[in-house]
Amino acid sequence: MASLAPLLELINTGIANLQSVEKKNNTPIPNLSQPFHPASEAFRADPVAAEAAAHVVAAALQLVATLSPPVEGLYTLAAAGSFKTAALRVAHESNVTEILREAGPQGLHVKDVAQKNGLDEKKLDRILRYLSSTHIYEEVEPNVFRNNRLSSLLDSGKPSADVISSPTTKFDGAMGPGALVAHHLDELTHSAAYTWENLSDPKTGHSYRSDQCPMSTHLGREINCWDYFCEPGQEFRRHRFDLAMKGMQSLQPAAAVLDGLEWGKLPKGSTVVDVGGGIGTYMAPLAENFPELKIVVQDLPKTIQNAHEFWAETNPQAVAEKRVSLEEQSFFDAQPERDVDVFFMKSIIHDWADSDSKKILTQLRKAAGKNTKLVLAESIIPYTSRMSEEAADIKGRVPGSVHKQAPAPLLPNSRSGPMVMTADMVMLIGLAGQERTFDHMQALLLSTGWKVEEVRHPASEHVMYSFYVSSPV
């Protein structure tokens, strides 16, 4: 029992801290039975509550792994994962959440749900009961189901009749992660099933080409996801993917870019180039807060067309005053000749294997002046092994590169690791890219002539990435 005592202490202490913060800030702890509302996350804005919740969750999961019969634990936690994704896709694609939202808190009998979405009543009953056993939906009485905190996140917010009659426009204008979840349950889940076949194939197993990843094996040909989405007949998947990425951006506030550098210390008129910057979402807060900067947003022609629309709505004055310019540019090509104070890239390098990443970073190094900074916004994979936190061992490390570890006996990466490592699997399966440990990224940058000077972390706990700030070697 000695090994359980520290976990129990973490849970008790964490719950006590949560209750204390709830009382102090009047921020209630979420109710699993109620549909999600953004206000229910207000408690997590308090750092004490955020840490307490993370420790309680990690300790509870470790207790489950410790006390479950090992065969049951291995099977239900791992091997049966594909069944859960299959069941969730059935519910999501057949619009169960929208139907149950209209039914209200009393729920709806499965026969009535099936009558609306056209599925077999008995099979749907089994699907929803299986999901309810993992706290997605609730069975309020036999065969009667309702939404809860988790299932309601799938809600498009539209009338069920509309999404049933027009599934291709289901996520248009919808808030939340619905499109992202649908993308994962479709392309990525199918591709994940072929990961072993891909890794064990002599031709693809050691390849880092984007057209030889598990998704390519699933599709049965050498093609990367970008080209696949552009093929005739895949318009819906491409559109859904674009909406999924917008949803991701909404969960990762663009204002976090303000924490990426001491922007106010840059000389007036400094040039900041957002490489592969999309429509410029992450430069908008910079343009608003530091109007003395000259910002260049670079991306491919089609994206830059959309960028003109974005800036016309967001900050037309910045474009008119030439404080923001929009430029067609591939990050694999040589940069235009000019003095650049900061090259900024968000979530670009993780899309690419080391070989392609080196090409991108080398082009920026060639274009850099001696005082140019490179700021990469990328997730950092934490090790699952515990690292020494003794001052003597940390001395000499790059400032900000040492992760705060969860207390023993929790896994040291239990706070930030699960989501980032899931993202790494997405990169492996869908793109042949990867999230990287700090040591990996540091070596990659050094090999292309960049030295990491510091790692900066956003103030918000909800942001999954950090900022590598580098200078030319």
CA separation, residue 156 to residues 85, 92, 128, 135, 172 (Å): 19, 10, 19, 20, 9
| List of residues 6+ apart from 257 with CB closer than 8 A | 282, 283, 285, 286, 344, 346, 377
State the distance between the two ends of the chain, measured CA to CA, in whole angstroms. Answer: 53
From 55, 92, 350, 403, active-site residue: 350
3-state secondary structure labels for all residues of the chain: CCCCHHHHHHHHHHHHHHHHHHHHHCCCCCCCCCCCCHHHHHHHHCHHHHHHHHHHHHHHHHHHHHHCCHHHHHHHHHHCHHHHHHHHHHHHHCCHHHHHHHHCCCCEEHHHHHHHHCCCHHHHHHHHHHHHCCCCCEEEECCEEECCCCHHHHCCCCCHHHHHHCHHHCCCCCCCCHHHHHHHHHHHHHHHCCHHHHHHCCCCCCCCCHHHCHHHHHHCCCCCHHHHHCCCCCHHHHHHHHHHHHHHHHHCCHHHHHHCCCHHHCCCCCEEEECCCCCCHHHHHHHHHCCCCEEEEEECHHHHHHHHHHHHHHCHHHHHCCCEEEEECCCCCCCCCCCCCEEEEECCHHHCCHHHHHHHHHHHHHHCCCCCEEEEEECECCCCCCCCCCHHHHCCCCCCCCCCCCCCCCCCCCCCHHHHHHHHHHHHHHCCCCCECHHHHHHHHHHCCEEEEEEECCCCCCCCCEEEEEEEC
- To the query of whether residue 350 is one of the catalytic residues in this protein, the response is yes
* Among candidate residues 414, 399, 417, 408, the one with its CA nearest the CA of residue 456: 399
Are the C-beta atoms of residues 382 and 417 closer than 8 Å to each other?
Answer: yes
CB-CB neighbours of 382 under 10 Å: 22
Distance separating alpha carbons of residues 435 and 115, to the nearest angstrom? 44
Which residues does the annotation mark as catalytic? 350
